[in-house]
Amino acid sequence: MSKAEALDLATGLGGKIDKSDVLSAIDKYEKYHDYYGGVKDERKSNYTDMVNKYYDLVTSFYEYGWGESFHFAARWKGESLQESIKRHEHFLALQLGLKPGQKVLDVGCGIGGPLREIARFSSTSITGLNNNEYQITRGKALNRVAGVDKTCDFVKADFMKMPFPDNSFDAIYAIEATCHAPDAVGCYKEIYRVLKPAIGRFITKNMVMALEKVGLAPKGSQRVQAFLEKAAEGLVAGGQKEIFTSMYFFLARKPHLDGQ
Protein backbone atom coordinates (compact mmCIF):
# COMPACT_ATOMS: atom_id res chain seq x y z
CA MET A 1 0.00 0.00 0.00
CA SER A 2 1.37 3.42 -0.96
CA LYS A 3 1.75 6.32 1.47
CA ALA A 4 -1.07 8.12 -0.31
CA GLU A 5 -3.38 5.11 0.09
CA ALA A 6 -2.45 4.77 3.76
CA LEU A 7 -3.15 8.47 4.31
CA ASP A 8 -6.52 8.07 2.57
CA LEU A 9 -7.44 5.29 4.97
CA ALA A 10 -6.22 7.27 7.95
CA THR A 11 -8.58 10.12 7.08
CA GLY A 12 -11.42 7.58 7.25
CA LEU A 13 -10.75 6.81 10.92
CA GLY A 14 -14.02 7.27 12.74
CA GLY A 15 -16.11 6.62 9.66
CA LYS A 16 -19.21 8.82 9.80
CA ILE A 17 -18.37 10.02 13.31
CA ASP A 18 -17.24 13.64 13.38
CA LYS A 19 -13.51 13.78 14.12
CA SER A 20 -14.12 15.83 17.28
CA ASP A 21 -16.46 13.10 18.57
CA VAL A 22 -14.16 10.10 18.07
CA LEU A 23 -12.94 10.01 21.70
CA SER A 24 -16.46 10.19 23.11
CA ALA A 25 -17.54 7.43 20.69
CA ILE A 26 -14.69 5.25 21.96
CA ASP A 27 -15.76 5.91 25.55
CA LYS A 28 -19.37 4.97 24.78
CA TYR A 29 -18.36 1.81 22.89
CA GLU A 30 -16.14 0.62 25.71
CA LYS A 31 -18.90 1.15 28.28
CA TYR A 32 -21.07 -1.44 26.49
CA HIS A 33 -18.71 -4.20 27.68
CA ASP A 34 -18.51 -5.99 31.02
CA TYR A 35 -14.89 -4.96 31.57
CA TYR A 36 -15.97 -1.31 31.70
CA GLY A 37 -19.18 -1.91 33.66
CA GLY A 38 -21.53 -2.63 30.76
CA VAL A 39 -24.39 -5.12 31.01
CA LYS A 40 -25.66 -7.72 28.55
CA ASP A 41 -29.19 -6.33 28.25
CA GLU A 42 -27.90 -2.90 27.30
CA ARG A 43 -25.64 -4.41 24.63
CA LYS A 44 -28.54 -6.38 23.15
CA SER A 45 -30.95 -3.44 23.13
CA ASN A 46 -28.32 -1.11 21.64
CA TYR A 47 -26.56 -3.59 19.35
CA THR A 48 -26.98 -1.35 16.27
CA ASP A 49 -25.23 1.58 17.92
CA MET A 50 -22.54 -0.64 19.44
CA VAL A 51 -21.70 -2.40 16.16
CA ASN A 52 -21.77 0.85 14.15
CA LYS A 53 -19.40 2.58 16.56
CA TYR A 54 -17.05 -0.40 16.45
CA TYR A 55 -16.86 -0.52 12.65
CA ASP A 56 -16.65 3.25 12.26
CA LEU A 57 -13.61 3.15 14.53
CA VAL A 58 -11.82 0.04 13.23
CA THR A 59 -12.59 -0.21 9.51
CA SER A 60 -9.59 1.82 8.36
CA PHE A 61 -7.28 -0.24 10.58
CA TYR A 62 -8.83 -3.44 9.23
CA GLU A 63 -8.36 -2.44 5.62
CA TYR A 64 -4.79 -1.23 6.17
CA GLY A 65 -3.66 -4.37 7.95
CA TRP A 66 -5.99 -7.05 6.62
CA GLY A 67 -7.08 -6.01 3.13
CA GLU A 68 -10.64 -5.76 1.81
CA SER A 69 -11.90 -9.08 3.23
CA PHE A 70 -12.40 -9.02 6.98
CA HIS A 71 -12.40 -12.74 7.72
CA PHE A 72 -10.13 -15.64 8.55
CA ALA A 73 -9.16 -18.59 6.37
CA ALA A 74 -7.18 -21.80 6.76
CA ARG A 75 -3.70 -21.19 5.40
CA TRP A 76 -1.44 -23.68 3.66
CA LYS A 77 2.30 -23.64 4.25
CA GLY A 78 3.87 -21.18 1.82
CA GLU A 79 0.52 -19.54 1.06
CA SER A 80 0.12 -15.80 1.60
CA LEU A 81 -2.69 -14.38 3.71
CA GLN A 82 -4.41 -12.89 0.66
CA GLU A 83 -4.14 -16.17 -1.28
CA SER A 84 -5.72 -18.09 1.58
CA ILE A 85 -8.59 -15.62 1.85
CA LYS A 86 -9.29 -15.79 -1.89
CA ARG A 87 -9.17 -19.59 -1.81
CA HIS A 88 -11.68 -19.61 1.04
CA GLU A 89 -14.03 -17.32 -0.89
CA HIS A 90 -13.76 -19.47 -4.03
CA PHE A 91 -14.46 -22.56 -1.91
CA LEU A 92 -17.57 -20.88 -0.52
CA ALA A 93 -18.82 -20.03 -4.02
CA LEU A 94 -18.30 -23.63 -5.15
CA GLN A 95 -20.07 -25.03 -2.08
CA LEU A 96 -23.06 -22.81 -2.78
CA GLY A 97 -23.13 -24.07 -6.37
CA LEU A 98 -23.39 -20.54 -7.72
CA LYS A 99 -24.34 -20.13 -11.38
CA PRO A 100 -23.82 -17.10 -13.64
CA GLY A 101 -26.64 -14.59 -13.37
CA GLN A 102 -27.92 -15.70 -9.97
CA LYS A 103 -28.87 -13.18 -7.30
CA VAL A 104 -26.88 -13.62 -4.10
CA LEU A 105 -27.00 -11.89 -0.70
CA ASP A 106 -23.95 -11.26 1.48
CA VAL A 107 -25.22 -10.80 5.06
CA GLY A 108 -22.95 -8.45 6.99
CA CYS A 109 -20.69 -7.73 4.04
CA GLY A 110 -18.17 -5.27 5.50
CA ILE A 111 -16.61 -3.22 2.70
CA GLY A 112 -17.37 -5.99 0.22
CA GLY A 113 -14.08 -7.82 -0.32
CA PRO A 114 -15.69 -11.29 -0.44
CA LEU A 115 -18.60 -9.86 -2.43
CA ARG A 116 -16.33 -8.64 -5.21
CA GLU A 117 -14.18 -11.78 -5.30
CA ILE A 118 -17.14 -14.17 -5.34
CA ALA A 119 -19.04 -12.07 -7.91
CA ARG A 120 -16.09 -12.14 -10.32
CA PHE A 121 -15.37 -15.82 -9.67
CA SER A 122 -18.98 -16.96 -10.19
CA SER A 123 -20.38 -14.25 -12.55
CA THR A 124 -23.23 -13.58 -10.11
CA SER A 125 -24.93 -10.39 -8.94
CA ILE A 126 -24.36 -9.86 -5.23
CA THR A 127 -26.08 -7.50 -2.83
CA GLY A 128 -24.17 -6.62 0.32
CA LEU A 129 -26.28 -6.06 3.42
CA ASN A 130 -24.67 -3.78 5.96
CA ASN A 131 -25.87 -1.41 8.68
CA ASN A 132 -22.73 0.74 8.68
CA GLU A 133 -22.86 3.76 6.39
CA TYR A 134 -19.12 4.32 6.23
CA GLN A 135 -18.40 0.74 5.16
CA ILE A 136 -21.07 0.98 2.45
CA THR A 137 -19.58 4.23 1.13
CA ARG A 138 -16.14 2.65 1.06
CA GLY A 139 -17.49 -0.55 -0.51
CA LYS A 140 -19.21 1.31 -3.34
CA ALA A 141 -15.97 3.12 -4.16
CA LEU A 142 -14.07 -0.18 -4.26
CA ASN A 143 -16.81 -1.75 -6.42
CA ARG A 144 -16.25 0.97 -9.00
CA VAL A 145 -12.49 0.36 -8.97
CA ALA A 146 -13.06 -3.40 -9.39
CA GLY A 147 -15.58 -2.87 -12.21
CA VAL A 148 -18.45 -4.72 -10.50
CA ASP A 149 -20.58 -1.68 -9.66
CA LYS A 150 -23.09 -2.56 -12.41
CA THR A 151 -23.87 -6.00 -10.99
CA CYS A 152 -23.13 -5.60 -7.28
CA ASP A 153 -24.45 -3.11 -4.77
CA PHE A 154 -25.06 -2.51 -1.08
CA VAL A 155 -28.20 -2.04 0.99
CA LYS A 156 -28.04 -0.30 4.35
CA ALA A 157 -30.25 -2.27 6.70
CA ASP A 158 -30.39 -4.37 9.85
CA PHE A 159 -30.10 -8.10 9.14
CA MET A 160 -32.75 -8.67 11.82
CA LYS A 161 -35.25 -6.79 9.60
CA MET A 162 -34.23 -7.26 5.99
CA PRO A 163 -35.98 -4.94 3.48
CA PHE A 164 -36.48 -7.68 0.89
CA PRO A 165 -39.57 -9.65 -0.18
CA ASP A 166 -39.82 -13.36 0.59
CA ASN A 167 -37.86 -15.67 -1.74
CA SER A 168 -35.66 -12.90 -3.16
CA PHE A 169 -32.25 -14.58 -3.48
CA ASP A 170 -30.91 -17.73 -5.12
CA ALA A 171 -28.20 -18.06 -2.47
CA ILE A 172 -27.17 -16.34 0.76
CA TYR A 173 -23.94 -16.43 2.72
CA ALA A 174 -22.59 -14.78 5.86
CA ILE A 175 -18.92 -14.77 6.77
CA GLU A 176 -18.19 -14.17 10.46
CA ALA A 177 -20.96 -11.56 10.64
CA THR A 178 -24.04 -13.01 12.32
CA CYS A 179 -22.15 -13.23 15.64
CA HIS A 180 -23.25 -9.60 16.02
CA ALA A 181 -26.95 -10.54 15.95
CA PRO A 182 -28.73 -10.01 19.28
CA ASP A 183 -30.81 -13.11 18.48
CA ALA A 184 -29.28 -15.76 16.23
CA VAL A 185 -32.62 -17.53 15.66
CA GLY A 186 -34.29 -14.28 14.56
CA CYS A 187 -31.40 -13.50 12.22
CA TYR A 188 -31.53 -16.88 10.49
CA LYS A 189 -35.32 -16.71 10.27
CA GLU A 190 -34.84 -13.59 8.15
CA ILE A 191 -32.22 -15.34 6.03
CA TYR A 192 -34.61 -18.28 5.57
CA ARG A 193 -37.45 -15.92 4.62
CA VAL A 194 -35.60 -14.11 1.81
CA LEU A 195 -33.93 -17.25 0.40
CA LYS A 196 -35.64 -18.97 -2.51
CA PRO A 197 -36.78 -22.53 -1.71
CA ALA A 198 -34.94 -25.47 -3.23
CA ILE A 199 -36.83 -27.27 -6.00
CA GLY A 200 -35.16 -30.66 -5.53
CA ARG A 201 -38.05 -32.30 -3.64
CA PHE A 202 -40.59 -31.04 -6.18
CA ILE A 203 -38.56 -32.45 -9.08
CA THR A 204 -37.98 -35.79 -7.32
CA LYS A 205 -41.66 -36.21 -6.48
CA ASN A 206 -42.83 -35.60 -10.02
CA MET A 207 -40.02 -37.63 -11.59
CA VAL A 208 -40.88 -40.68 -9.44
CA MET A 209 -44.57 -40.25 -10.31
CA ALA A 210 -43.79 -40.19 -14.03
CA LEU A 211 -41.40 -43.15 -13.89
CA GLU A 212 -43.96 -45.26 -12.00
CA LYS A 213 -46.70 -44.30 -14.43
CA VAL A 214 -44.75 -45.47 -17.49
CA GLY A 215 -43.55 -48.61 -15.75
CA LEU A 216 -39.86 -47.72 -15.42
CA ALA A 217 -40.17 -47.64 -11.63
CA PRO A 218 -42.00 -50.38 -9.69
CA LYS A 219 -45.49 -49.77 -8.37
CA GLY A 220 -45.35 -48.24 -4.92
CA SER A 221 -42.29 -46.08 -5.63
CA GLN A 222 -44.31 -42.91 -5.19
CA ARG A 223 -45.54 -44.09 -1.79
CA VAL A 224 -41.94 -44.77 -0.71
CA GLN A 225 -40.98 -41.27 -1.80
CA ALA A 226 -43.93 -39.87 0.17
CA PHE A 227 -42.98 -41.48 3.48
CA LEU A 228 -39.35 -40.47 3.00
CA GLU A 229 -40.56 -36.90 2.61
CA LYS A 230 -42.60 -37.22 5.81
CA ALA A 231 -39.51 -38.51 7.60
CA ALA A 232 -37.53 -35.50 6.41
CA GLU A 233 -40.21 -33.13 7.69
CA GLY A 234 -40.17 -34.94 11.05
CA LEU A 235 -36.39 -34.61 11.32
CA VAL A 236 -36.61 -30.88 10.70
CA ALA A 237 -39.45 -30.44 13.21
CA GLY A 238 -37.54 -32.43 15.84
CA GLY A 239 -34.49 -30.27 15.36
CA GLN A 240 -36.53 -27.06 15.60
CA LYS A 241 -38.04 -28.22 18.91
CA GLU A 242 -34.57 -29.23 20.12
CA ILE A 243 -35.73 -32.74 20.98
CA PHE A 244 -33.80 -34.65 18.32
CA THR A 245 -30.54 -34.55 16.44
CA SER A 246 -29.08 -37.10 14.08
CA MET A 247 -25.58 -35.71 14.63
CA TYR A 248 -24.70 -36.54 18.22
CA PHE A 249 -21.20 -37.74 18.98
CA PHE A 250 -19.99 -39.23 22.23
CA LEU A 251 -16.80 -41.00 23.24
CA ALA A 252 -16.85 -43.53 26.09
CA ARG A 253 -14.16 -45.53 27.81
CA LYS A 254 -14.89 -48.56 29.97
CA PRO A 255 -12.99 -48.12 33.25
CA HIS A 256 -10.68 -50.79 34.60
CA LEU A 257 -11.99 -52.65 37.65
CA ASP A 258 -9.95 -52.39 40.83
CA GLY A 259 -7.11 -54.85 40.85
CA GLN A 260 -7.24 -55.59 37.13
Beta carbons within 8 Å of 47's beta carbon, 6+ residues apart: 180, 181, 182
Q: In Å, what is the CA distance from 163 to each residue of 50, 106, 107, 186, 193?
A: 21, 14, 12, 15, 11
Rounded Cα gap, residues 78 and 101, in angstroms: 35
pLDDT of residue 12: 65
pLDDT of residue 164: 98
Q: At what angle do helices 113-122 and 81-96 cross, to 10 degrees?
A: 60
What is the H or E stretch that residue 3 is in?
helix 3-10
Using alpha carbons, select from 89, 95, 91, 136 the residue that is nearest to residue 116: 89
pLDDT of residue 173: 96
Task: For the chain, 260 residues long, give each residue's pLDDT as a single digit of tens.
Answer: 565 565 565 566 667 678 788 888 888 888 888 777 888 888 888 888 888 888 988 898 888 889 999 999 999 999 999 999 999 999 999 999 999 999 999 999 999 999 999 999 999 999 999 999 999 999 999 999 999 999 999 999 999 999 999 999 999 999 999 988 889 999 999 999 999 988 777 777 888 888 888 988 888 888 888 888 888 888 778 877 878 776 666 667 778 777 55
pTM of the entire predicted model: 0.73
Bridge partner residues of 172 (DSSP): 105
Contact 152, 143 (CB under 8 A): yes
Backbone φ/ψ region at 162: left (φ over 0), alpha (ψ -120 to 50), beta:
beta
DSSP H helices in 164-218: 184-194, 200-213
Q: What are phi and psi of 106, to 5 degrees?
A: -105, 110
What is the H or E stretch that residue 234 is in?
helix 221-240
